[in-house]
Amino acid sequence: MSRAISVIIPTYNRGAYLRRTIDSVLAACSGRDEIIVVDAAENREAEALIEKYGNLQIKYVRQVNEGVSAARNYGLELARNDLVAYIDDDDEWHPKKLYIQRALLEKHPEAVACFTNIWATTSDGDTLGDYLFQWGQPVQDWNQLLGKTRNLKLEGFAQNIDYYLGDHYFNQMLDDYVLPSSLLIDRSRFKEDLFYRVGMQRNESWLYTSQVCRQGPVIYVDVDLACHHGDAPNRLTSIPHVETVLSRLYVLENEFGGRPEFLEKDPSAFNERLKRERNVLFAAVMSGGVERRRATLMDNAHHGGRIALGARIPEFGLSLVSLSFRLASRLRRLIRRQRAHHSSQ
């Protein structure tokens, strides 16, 4: 008999999108699976929606709003099963998502988790397939990342399934490849209890999925089985860029930089990745829109390099450097527009 799965759906003031999410989850679940909806909203919109389903598989709980990480952690505490899947309240699953992932984790008992390719929609309603390869990561050759291509044929699924099995921890240091809504974990195979870090505004999922990958081999399924929708309000893209970069530096320094056994394998790759992120932080601070420019540099002078140097420059000097960054940015945009104009002729 296949093992049961606990599905965790954190939600906050998105009743208009939650129905789409729950409908897709119900289509993907078996009768033995459970669905936990953790609602941190002040209103009762989500609760009223759950009541209309009248489905005993769905467990609705409320929580004081402490962010999506706290909601996911509460769901983890309530989950009855070792197999746990996450989905955000505006995302969507392919009906065969859990069927495929469950089968692969049963086929490979050494694997601690399974994640998949995704498709996405834009605010304009456009659909983008194979989206993991458009997500901005520096390396996306899965043979290079996880080894040889494997193949699986499942009854009831038309296409052959290409997948990969291997150590994904180093790849996660390069960047975040795992959308939480595509992830299925097996807690029984973890070396330690894992929870999302509460209080991070961004990249808390990168930290968590990296910790998951540290537990052992993972499976990547090269089929679009989860959808990252772009039509919902209050997305994390509204968080200031500097705060986003600072959260990435936190993940790099505290997760990967805090593991001597990992750093010994390829210290140059980690140092290069860390240097690149530090340069991004300096550029973000100097490109304008940062009210406490010098204070931000001083608070992060421990990163060294340009940041430490900038922290020693008087405000007047920083203003000149910032002006040069903004002018250079405008020049690059102008050059790109001219090249696009010439190529279209």
Look at residue 145 in the predicted model and tell me its pLDDT. Answer: 76
Kindly report the length of the chain. Answer: 345
**What are the extents of the domains in the chain?**
5-238, 241-344
Give Cα separations from 276 to 88, 176, 207 (angstroms). Answer: 30, 15, 18
pLDDT tier, 289 (very low <50, low <70, confident <90, very high otherwise):
low
Mean pLDDT in residue range 209-225: 96
Query: Which residue matches tokens 């009762």?
Result: 44
Q: Which CATH homologous superfamily contains domain 5-238?
A: Spore Coat Polysaccharide Biosynthesis Protein SpsA; Chain A (3.90.550.10)
> What residue type is 97 in one-letter code?
K
pLDDT above 70: residue 235: no
Q: How far apart are CA 57 and CA 38, in angstroms?
A: 14
User: What is this structure's pTM?
Assistant: 0.89
Cβ burial of 281 (10 Å; 0-12, 13-18, 19+) is: buried
Rounded to a whole number of angstroms, the CA Rg of the chain reads 22
Q: How far apart are CA 137 and CA 133, in angstroms?
A: 8
Q: Read off the tokens for 4.
A: 């049961």
Beta carbons within 10 angstroms of residue 290's beta carbon: 17
The H or E element containing residue 205 is helix 204-214
Position with higher pLDDT, 123 vs 191? 191
258: left (phi over 0), alpha (psi -120 to 50) or beta: alpha
Q: Which SS3 state, helix, strand or coil, does residue 138 take?
A: coil
Give every CB contact of residue 259 below 8 A, 6+ residues apart in sequence: 214
Give every CB contact of residue 144 below 8 A, 6+ residues apart in sequence: none
Position with higher pLDDT, 290 vs 329? 329
Q: How far apart are CA 251 and CA 30, in angstroms?
A: 35
53, 2, 189, 263: CA torsion to nearest 10: -80
Give Cα separations from 277 to 107, 239, 282, 303, 305 (angstroms). Answer: 38, 17, 9, 10, 11
147: left (phi over 0), alpha (psi -120 to 50) or beta: left
pLDDT tens, position by position, 242-277: 888 999 999 999 999 999 999 998 899 999 999 999
Lowest mean pLDDT among 146-160, 200-214, 261-275: 146-160
Look at residue 158 in the predicted model and tell me its pLDDT. Answer: 77
Percent of the chain beyond pLDDT 90?
58
> What residue type is 150 in one-letter code?
R
pLDDT tens, position by position, 69-121: 999 999 999 999 999 999 999 999 999 999 999 999 999 999 999 999 999 99
Kindly state the greatest CA–CA separation across the chain.
70
| b/e burial code for range 294-312 (CB count within 10 A of at least 16 → b) | bebbeebeebeebbbebbe
Q: How far apart are CA 184 and CA 93, in angstroms?
A: 12
Question: Rounded to 5 degrees, what angle do the CA atoms 293, 332, 301 make?
Answer: 25
Query: What rounded mean pLDDT belongs to the chain?
Result: 88
Position with higher pLDDT, 236 vs 249? 249
Look at residue 237 in the predicted model and tell me its pLDDT. Answer: 41
Look at residue 184 in the predicted model and tell me its pLDDT. Answer: 98
CA torsion through residues 231, 232, 238, 243, sign: negative
Q: How far apart are CA 271 and CA 248, in angstroms?
A: 14
